[in-house]
Structure 1
Amino acid sequence: MPPRTPPDDAHPYLRAASAGIRHHTRSLSPPDAAPPRRADRLHLDVLHAHLTALLHLLDHLAETTRPPYPTAGRHLATAHTRLWQATSEVHSAFHLLPADTAAEEAEASACHPERLPEGPPVLTICQRHLTAGHVLRRKTTPTDLRPHTTACAR
């Protein structure tokens, strides 16, 4: 049996991502009397990218967990579906927010491959959302996507 990885050494990238989200959440609500910052389109685009990365991770975990532990795999698959619903709402909110200014909109939509070492981004938020939706729809039914109530299995 392989040695167990101590919790401090397990999954360092996930821990770092979680710490980054906690830090970002705190920075959105400054402790002084300043008003909280509102979400903008760039913010929601980055959040959508994070959620779709989590979708891929949950999908992988559900697929690899289901054969040896079917019940746990079903719960992970359900979490994947619910995360998709959250991702879809963030995508909708993105399109409902106005661009701050025409200059910012032009800057955000302009292609600047010289700014990225690997070239321009491959996916826009809509392409990313369609890709994630295609993967989800291969594995779920419309019934799976309906609202639900949660009951603890313990």
Structure 2
Amino acid sequence: MTALDPSHTPNDAHPYLRAASAGIRHHTRSFASPDAAPPRRADRLHLNVVHAHLTSLLQLLDRLAETTRPPHPAAGRHLATAHTRLWQATSEVHSAFHLLPADTAAEEAEASACHPERLPEGPPVLTICQRHLAAGHVLRRKTTPTDLRPHTTACAR
């Protein structure tokens, strides 16, 4: 099926990305919902899940940049820049995770249900750090410290 195929519709493309985006929109609405009596606050569990989404997006952008760069160098550079900026957002979410207080009741329940012998990545509370270190390792192999500095953006149009 190609883009020129009349039976191909935009809704048929990338169903998993659409589903992930719909899930993120749902959670965004639930945090902004006036129905929640006390306003919902971010907790470590939510930030861990957001961090997992961001690191998955990092992998996707990295692959898109690698495959786009040879035939379209300028577009590939923009995707590589987007990858770097997404890393900065991922790093900030990781930092926020560690600044939030631990929900001891939830973490104790999680620890009691944890079977480290079945989890190659270790206890659940450490998975965000291991995921972050792995993503950082990949990023640092492809970027320089200068690339990771804060930036200003200007539209090229």
Deviation of the 1:120 alpha carbon: 2.9
- Tell me the CA shift for residue 100 of structure 1: 2.0
Q: Which runs of 5+ in 1 are unaligned?
A: 114-118
Number of the residue aligned with 1:105? 107
User: Per-residue displacement from partner, 1:76-104 (whole Å, max 9, x unpaired)?
Assistant: 00000000000000000000001122x32
Query: Who is 1:116 aligned against?
Result: none
1:3 corresponds to? 2
Q: How far is the alpha carbon of 1:121 from its aligned partner? A: 6.1
CA distance in 1, matches of 2:75, 2:86: 16
* Cα separation, 2, equivalents of 1:104 and 1:71: 47
Q: Provide the C-alpha distance between the structure 1 equivalents of 2:47 and 2:95, rounded to a whole number of angstroms.
A: 10
Amino acid at match of 1:122: E
CA deviation vs aligned residue, 1:91-126 (integer Å, no higher than 9, x gap)? 00000001122x32223345535xxxxx43636110
User: SS state of the match for residue 10, structure 2?
Assistant: coil
- Work out whether 1:54 is the aligned partner of 2:57: yes
Q: Percent identity between the aligned chains?
A: 80
Choose the corresponding residue for 1:94, options 94, 97, 101. Answer: 97
Code of the residue aligned with 2:119 in structure 1: it is P
User: Greater share of helix residues, 1 or 2?
Assistant: 2
* 1:27-78 residue CA offsets vs partner (Å, 9 max, x unmatched): 1122337232001111111110010000000000000000000000000000
What amino acid maps onto 1:133 in structure 2? G
Structure 2 unmatched runs, 5+: none
Equivalenced residue count is 148
Number of the residue aligned with 1:68: 71
* Letter paired with 1:85: Q
Runs of 4+ in 1 over 6 A off after TM superposition: none
In structure 2, relative to structure 1, the CA distance for the partners of 1:35 and 1:109 (3 Å cut) is same
Q: Equivalent residues in 2 for 1:1-154 (5 A)?
A: 3-4=2-3, 5-32=8-35, 34-101=37-104, 103-110=105-112, 112-113=114-115, 119-120=118-119, 122=121, 124-154=127-157
RMSD: 1.9
Q: TM-score, normalised by structure 2?
A: 0.87
The answer to whether the Cα contact below 8 Å between 1:29 and 1:35 also exists between their aligned partners in 2 is no
